[in-house]
Amino acid sequence: MAVLKIVYKDISELTPYERNPRHNDAAVDAVAASIKEFGFRVPIIIDGKGGIIAGHTRLKAAKQLGMTKVPCIVADDLTEAQIKAFRLADNKTAELSTWDYELLTLELEELETLDFDMSPFGFDDLFIDHEEDADRAGASPWERMGDEGDDGVLFSFGAIACKVDRSVYEDFLNRAPDANVSEWVSEVIRNALRYS
C-alpha cells in the first residue's frame, strides 16, 4: 500500500470531474461550516493531473470560504478503472451507515451542555427526517415508501419524485414481502408520471 502524502494545491490546479453523478450543492454550507470550525481535516483526493476523485463538495466549500489552497492526496497509483470505481464507492459507502438515534441524542445533549451548536452541520434536518420516520413507524416498510393521496401514491427515489397509480402500488403490497424490490422500483419508474 502506498504511503499517503498530503500536498497543498492551488484551487486553480484542481479539475472537478465533469460527469460527477453526485448532487452536492445542498451539503456545501454544512461542509463549509465544518471546515471553518474544525479546519480542513479531510483532504481532497486527486489523480496525477489534478482531477478530483473524491472531494467535490469540499472544493465548493473551500471556494465559498475564499480559500486559495487546499490539502490534497495524490492517488497516482490507481488505475483509470480504480479511479472511476472509487469516485462512486466513496459516496455510496457513506450511505450504507445509519444513526443510532438514542446514542446520537446523548452526544448532542452533551454538546449542548458544552454550548456547542451542531445545527450548522445539518443535525436539525436529520432529526426532522427521523421524527417523520417515527411518525410512520406503524406502517409496513413498503407503505413508508409512499404517501397516498386521491390521485395516486407519491414516491421519492433519490432525485426522482413521481406519482404512481394506486393499482400499481396495491399490486406491490399484495406481492410483499416476497416481491423483488429493485424489480418493482423499475416497474414503478416505467409506469410513473413525473411529479411536479
- CATH code at 56? 3.90.1530.10
Judge contact between 90 and 20, C-beta under 8 A: no
Instruction: Give the C-alpha distances (Å, rounded to integers) separating 8 from 12, 119, 166.
Output: 12, 30, 55
Which residues on adjacent β-strands are paired with residue 164? Answer: 153
The mean-pLDDT minimum among 7-11, 151-155, 168-172 falls in: 151-155
Does position 59 have pLDDT exceeding 50, yes or no? yes
106 & 151 share domain: no
Judge contact between 27 and 94, C-beta under 8 A: no
109 & 91 share domain: no
| Radius of gyration from C-alpha coordinates of the chain | 21
**How many domains does the structure of the chain reveal?**
3
Half-sphere exposure for 90 (CA within 13 Å, toward CB): 18
Judge contact between 65 and 36, C-beta under 8 A: yes
34 band by pLDDT with thresholds 50, 70 and 90: very high
Does position 185 have pLDDT exceeding 60, yes or no? no
Residues 56-76 as b or e (16 or more Cβ within 10 Å = b): bbbbbbbeeeebeebbbbbbe
What pLDDT, on a 0 to 100 scale, did the predictor assign at position 63? 98
What pLDDT, on a 0 to 100 scale, did the predictor assign at position 30? 94
What pLDDT, on a 0 to 100 scale, did the predictor assign at position 77? 92
User: What is the rounded distance in angstroms from the CA atom of residue 83 to the CA atom of residue 17?
Assistant: 11
User: What is the rounded distance in angstroms from the CA atom of residue 2 to the CA atom of residue 47?
Assistant: 14
In a domain? residue 176: yes
What pLDDT, on a 0 to 100 scale, did the predictor assign at position 188? 57
In a domain? residue 1: no
In a domain? residue 165: yes
Residue type, 143: E
- Residue ranges making up the domain that contains 105: 98-135
Task: Taking residues 84-92, report their average pLDDT.
Answer: 92
Q: Single out the residue in 67, 95, 123 at which a domain terminates.
A: 95
22 & 88 share domain: yes
Percent of the chain at pLDDT above 70?
62
The model's pLDDT over 98-136, given as tens digits with 9 standing for 90+, comes to: 878 788 888 988 998 999 999 898 877 555 444 555 444
183 band by pLDDT with thresholds 50, 70 and 90: low
Supply 178's cell numbers: 416476497
112 & 174 share domain: no
Q: Single out the residue in 95, 121, 153 at which a domain terminates.
A: 95
Using alpha carbons, select from 99, 97, 78, 98 the residue that is nearest to residue 87: 78
What pLDDT, on a 0 to 100 scale, did the predictor assign at position 154? 59
Percent of the chain at pLDDT above 90?
45
